Chain A
Amino acid sequence: MTALDLKLLRDLWHMRGQVLAIAAVIAGGVATLVMSLSTYDSLLTTRDLFYSEYRFAQVFTTLKRAPESVAQRLKEIPGVERLETRVVAVVKLEVAGFNDPVTGMLSSLPDVGMPLLNTLHLKRGRWLTPYSGDEIIVSDTFADAHGLHPGDRIHAVIHGKRKALTLVGVALSPEYVYQIAPGAMFPDFKRYGVLWMGRHALAAAYDMDGAFNNVALTLTPGTDEQAVIRRLDTLLAPYGGVGAHGRKDQFSNRFLSEELKQLQTTATVFPSIFMGVAAFLLNVVVTRLIATQREQIAILKAFGYHHAAIGWHFVKLVMAIALLGVAAGTALGMWFGNGLAGVYMELYRFPYLEYVLEPPVIFIALAVTSAAALSGTLLAVGRAIRLPPAEGMRPETPVAYRATLLERLGLQRLCSQPTRMILRHIERRPLKSLLTVFGIACAGGLMMVGNYQRGAIDFMVDVQFKHAAREDLAVTFLEPTSGRALHELAQLPGVRHVEGFRDVAANLRFGHYHYRSAIYGIQPEGVLHRSLDSELRPVAVPAGGVVLTDHLANNILHVQPGDLLTVEVLEGRRQVLQVPVLGLTRQFLGVSAYMRQDTLNELLREGDVVSGAYLSHDPGVEQDLYDRLHGRPRVLGMVAHAAAIKSFYATLGEFVLFFNMVATALAATIAFGVVYNSARIALSERGRELASLRVLGFTHGEIAYILLGELGALTLAAIPVGFAVGAGLCGILVVVFASDLYRLPLVLEPYNFALGATVVAASAMVSGWLVWRQLGRLDLVGVLKTRE
């Protein structure tokens, strides 16, 4: 080993505290990157594998009812590879010991053998016995939520008839990876279940003997999906077809894709910010670190070491630290990634998780880290090398201090001599002081990025459920019904207020943009369900047109108030309507198109018809009300909002919390690394000066004040700057995170600021304490004897 390599190892050991702190900064950035990208890649790979292994269909359609003979004609559509007809029924479920309304999605399975498409992954229990009359398989989420096991019995109200069912298996399906009740905002595994039953038995109960109401198919490779969909729609139109759609619009897949897109954004933006900040800090730290080695560079130069050799020496030093950071970050990131993917697995039901860490991810981490480390190193080494060795070797010439601004203003009486030293030192190197402030500010800003989502989600949920959708309960009818049905609901004991709504599935089209959604006809003067203006104040929906969620109008359909929107109704007579856009509504959760109910009725050329109703009720009447509503044949399902919010926090909330916790921990690591490095480097830069002061009779406390006072002043200055940086970074997140599912509002709570400031201040205090201890061990004699 050469003498220089020995020096390298010794230097690394000597600065081990700093090495660890710098490595921690890198590790924080790299871990975020590895965690996010590996989770994303894992989920994507797992999804694709699951889809292909369990033969997830490519085109889906529902209809009112068609005789089985029609199936043959559908199979003959060119491009259809496999096609399967099914009976699917939305039913009310009763689980013993659970009184809330439960909606079930009951699909048929072939009476004998496996389904051709959308096969199930059986987790527990067994398949249905051929032609069984009452056996069902249920989704694992529902089974887990209710603690159901093979052998248990539940009841379903199918087509108005109550039927006892025996659970024989628990399964997962590629069709229901993301399980959410139609009309609900969030998954609720207790109140929404997916079930499978033999075709024969279900058809008998649902009045679908020899008929089907649902079709799934796959395409031969290279087929034009749209062409098949058009043929399918034409063939099924006489049978009440509701418009076929591809995987893109398949409910579970669409949500899953949106979430994955969101995750991809997270996986790009978060690490970019973290890596960017870490790289910047690394660069600053390394630059200063090398600057403290200026004399040694001069010596090596005096001996005749080439610039390249000296540069290489320091590159190795810095890369050793960088590699340590990347390695630790990768390990940490994989660990967190596994944890995060586990949280996702709770939400998305995959039979297995295929954890993948793509090598390019580590490569990116290495490249970014190296670039930051190397540019800092080479810059600093270059600066030191440019100095003639004769100059580099002498103690840095006493720099030209000036009287500070404060003193020039004549306020020096306010400051003690040490305070003046602090101020002059800060003022002498304004750029360096600024960089330190900015570095610490970035670290504080990261803290805010790490934990701001929680508050934003609280705000989002608050706006949605306290201002926009204020109903306690949303009731859906089996079929569109006369508005008179509302009077009956209003008569129920405990019901305070009833508002009908009409919703209809529709494809919204403007130019070449389109979005498959629904039009909600609500009450113009409604007090329960309202649309909000840009200031989040409730506004009445005007007559004669449609009001769109701002995100839907601006970012999806690219339509403005005043434009004519094409609405292709997907139910009933399937009209194609031209409807003027009358305004925009602010909405953070989901996207919707609103009309007045009477306008929608008019456009659909129907009378006063409602699809369901929003209800508010007295507190405490829930159980009784649910029971009564349950008994009404017209009522198909109910969504209780309190339960929905709770289930939201239990699912999505859990993910956000996990992510926040990790991001906050990593941000805190980075913050500490930065602050500690700032303090430690200041110590090595000024160790001699301080030791000399000690020799002159200054106390430990006095020299600590000179050094730590500066750190304290810079940290204090950095905290408000950090607030600005944090707010800016959160602003970026808000913009890039906008999706159909939700748009996070930019709301920063006092605790966001408090946490950022606290972590920075705590890091400064711990660093200060560590440096204080080191000051106590300053080798006074050594300083006078050797020259570092």
Chain B
Amino acid sequence: MGRGMAEPGWVFRAAGLTKIYRMGEVEVQALRGIDLELRRGELVVLLGPSGSGKSTLLNILGGLDTPTAGEVSYLERNLSTASETELTLFRRDHVGFVFQFYNLIPSLTARENVAAVTEIAKAPMKPEEALAMVGLGSRLDHFPAQLSGGEQQRVAIARAIAKNPAVLLCDEPTGALDSTTGIIVLEALEKVNRELGTLTVLITHNAGIADMADRVIRLSDGRIVEERHNTVKRVAHELSW
């Protein structure tokens, strides 16, 4: 929606973002005051040890979760105060997700899992096209249970990019992949980022992948502990791990 308007320099802006999970008497502070700006067309990599709050941050940016305190905006839209319906529309129209646990619908084939998203999108590509981009053109009619973990992950990525989203949020998209397939997937993400100017946020445990980012943000214990700009940005097929 924001594209083409008189835009601010950032797409996402977070200030003092805090998230506390409460389970009975136990409190888990997942985010402890995050300040952040993400710009249009950027490819950002989030690094950090397990439990440092990466997924939590990504979920809040994507409108899947709301912060306990602090503000987060997407363009002129304040996500921290948005209603359920506004968040739904935001996700539907602007965000492509790749979830850490893939979260495919077990009763739908690869093609149909993608179709479930393209059917409600404004200007999607064809499910087959999206699956071809992640090298799954020949596994269209397989059910999740008939695919390997990596293949499921690629279906999840196809599902995210198929709607040509303005923002792509990927939680460990290559976690289960060998480096060859991983690179195919990263190339697909890179292509979407470059050609469509899609802001892409990518969580990974793999420091090697950080080399393809414009910016690398490192989290630890719910805080940003390091932020660096890559002066040289490598293309995906030059990476290896």
The answer to whether A787 and B102 have CB atoms under 8 Å apart is yes
Whether the pair B91, A302 counts as a contact (CB closer than 8 A) is: yes
Q: In the complex, what residues of B have CB within 8 A of residue A2's CB?
A: 115-116, 119
Closest Cβ of chain A to B210, distance in Å, is: 24
By the criterion CB–CB under 8 Å, are A3 and B149 in contact?
Answer: no
Asked if A11 CB lies within 8 Å of chain B CBs, one says yes
Within 8 A of B (CB), among A264-316: 295-296, 298-307, 309
Residues of A within 8 A of B89 (CB): 304
User: Contact: B103 with A304, CB < 8 Å?
Assistant: no
User: Is A305 in contact with B120, judged by CB distance below 8 angstroms?
Assistant: yes
B12 CB within 8 Å of chain A: no
The answer to whether B88 touches A301, judged by C-beta atoms less than 8 angstroms apart, is yes
Q: Which residues of B contact A389 (CB under 8 A)?
A: 64-65
CB-CB < 8 A to A393: which residues of B?
Answer: 99, 101, 103
Candidate in A3, A11, A782 with the most chain B CB atoms within 10 angstroms: A3
The yes or no answer to B24 lying at the interface (CB within 8 A) is yes
In this assembly, does B49 line the interface, its C-beta being within 8 Å of a C-beta of chain A?
A: no
Tell yes or no: A786 within 8 A of B by CB.
Answer: yes
- CA–CA, A3 and B109, complex, Å: 9
CB atoms of B59 and A390 under 8 A apart? yes
Distance between Cα atoms of A725 and B163 in the complex (Å): 55
Secondary structure class of chain A's binding surface, majority of residues: helix
Quick check: B120 and A303 within 8 Å, CB to CB? Answer: yes
Cα A787 to Cα B176 in complex, Å, equals 14
**In the docked arrangement, what's the CA distance between A109 and B193, Å?**
102
**The residue from A6, A305, A787, A788 contacting B108, defined by CB atoms under 8 A apart:** A6
Verify if B85 is at the interface (C-beta below 8 Å from A).
yes
Query: B93: which A residues are within 8 A, CB to CB?
Result: 304
- Closest-by-CB residue of A relative to B62 is A302
Tell me whether B42 is interfacial, beta carbon within 8 Å.
Answer: no
Number of residues of chain B lying within 8 A (CB) of chain A: 40
User: A14 near B: Cβ within 8 Å?
Assistant: yes
* List of A residues within 8 angstroms of B116 by Cβ: 2-4, 7, 300, 303
Contact B107 A7 (CB under 8 A): yes
Contact with A along B53-69 (1 / 0, CB 8 A): 00110010010111000
Q: Are A299 and B120 neighbours in the complex by a CB distance under 8 Å?
A: no
Q: What is the bound-complex CA distance between A11 and B115, given in angstroms?
A: 17
Q: Which of A6, A307, A394, A786 has the most CB of B within 10 A?
A: A786
Chain A residues in 8 Å Cβ range of B112? 3, 6-7
Kindly state the interface size class of chain A when it binds its partner.
35 or more
Distance between Cα atoms of A295 and B97 in the complex (Å): 15
- With A303-B117, A306-B88, A393-B101 already in contact, the answer to whether A788 and B66 are too (CB < 8 A) is no
State which of A14, A298, A390, A400 has its C-beta within 8 Å of the C-beta of B24.
A400
8 Å CB contact of B88 from A14, A305, A400: A305
B145 at the interface (CB under 8 A from A): yes
Interface pair A388/B102, CB less than 8 Å apart: no
Give the complex CA separation of A306 and B86 in angstroms.
10
B80 within 8 A of A: no
Is there contact, CB below 8 Å, between B101 and A782? Answer: no
B residues less than 8 Å from A224 (CB atoms): none
- Rounded to whole angstroms, the CA-CA distance of A779 and B4 in the bound complex is 51
Please, which residues of chain A bring their CB within 8 A of the CB of B97? 302-303
Partner among A295, A296, A305 whose Cβ is within 8 Å of the Cβ of B92: A305
B103: chain A residues at CB < 8 Å are 295, 298-299, 302, 393, 787
| A391 within 8 Å of B (CB atoms) | yes
Q: How far is the CB of A273 from chain B (nearest CB, A)?
A: 37
Chain A residues contacting B107 (CB-CB under 8 Å) are 6-7, 10-11, 14
The answer to whether B144 touches A786, judged by C-beta atoms less than 8 angstroms apart, is yes
Which residues 109-138 of A have a CB within 8 angstroms of B? none
Complex formed: what's the CA distance from A394 to B103 in Å? 9
Flag whether A429 is at the interface (Cβ < 8 A).
no
Are the CB atoms of A304 and B92 closer together than 8 Å?
yes
Contact partners of A388 in chain B: CB under 8 A: 59, 64-66
A487 near B: Cβ within 8 Å?
A: no
B46 within 8 A of A: no
Is the Cβ of A394 less than 8 Å from the Cβ of B101? yes
Contacts of A300 in B (CB 8 A): 116
Q: Is B106 close to A, CB under 8 A? A: yes
The answer, yes or no, to whether A397 is at the interface (CB within 8 Å) is yes
B207 within 8 Å of A by Cβ? no
The answer to the question of A605 belonging to the interface, with a C-beta cut-off of 8 Å to chain B, is no
Interface string of A210-241 (1 = CB under 8 A from B): 00000000000000000000000000000000
Asked if A408 lies at the interface with its beta carbon under 8 angstroms from chain B, I say no
Q: Tell me the bound Cα distance from A621 to B124 in angstroms.
A: 98
A386: nearest residue on chain B (CB-CB)? Answer: B84
Once A307-B88, A786-B144 are accepted as A-B contacts, the answer to whether A296 and B64 lie under 8 Å apart by CB is no
* Min distance, Cβ B222 to any Cβ of chain A, angstroms: 16
In the bound assembly, the distance between CA atoms of A462 and B224 in angstroms comes to: 88
Bound-complex Cα distance A787 to B108 (A): 13
Q: What does the 1/0 interface line of A369-390 toward B look like (CB < 8 Å)?
A: 0000000000000000000111
The yes or no answer to B105 lying at the interface (CB within 8 A) is: yes
In the complex, A400→B24 CA distance in Å?
A: 9
B113: CB under 8 A from chain A?
yes
Interface of chain A residues 344 through 385 with chain B (CB within 8 A): none
A785 contacts the other chain (CB 8 A): yes
Q: Would you mind naming 7 contact pairs between A and B with Cβ atoms under 8 Å apart?
A: A3-B116, A6-B108, A304-B89, A388-B59, A393-B99, A393-B103, A786-B104
What are the 3 closest A-B residue pairs judged by CB atoms, nearest first? A304-B92, A3-B116, A304-B91
Given pairs A302-B62, A390-B65, 20 additional interface contacts (CB within 8 A): A3-B108, A3-B119, A6-B107, A6-B112, A7-B112, A295-B103, A302-B99, A302-B103, A303-B91, A304-B89, A304-B91, A309-B120, A389-B65, A390-B55, A391-B65, A397-B23, A779-B145, A785-B149, A786-B145, A786-B152
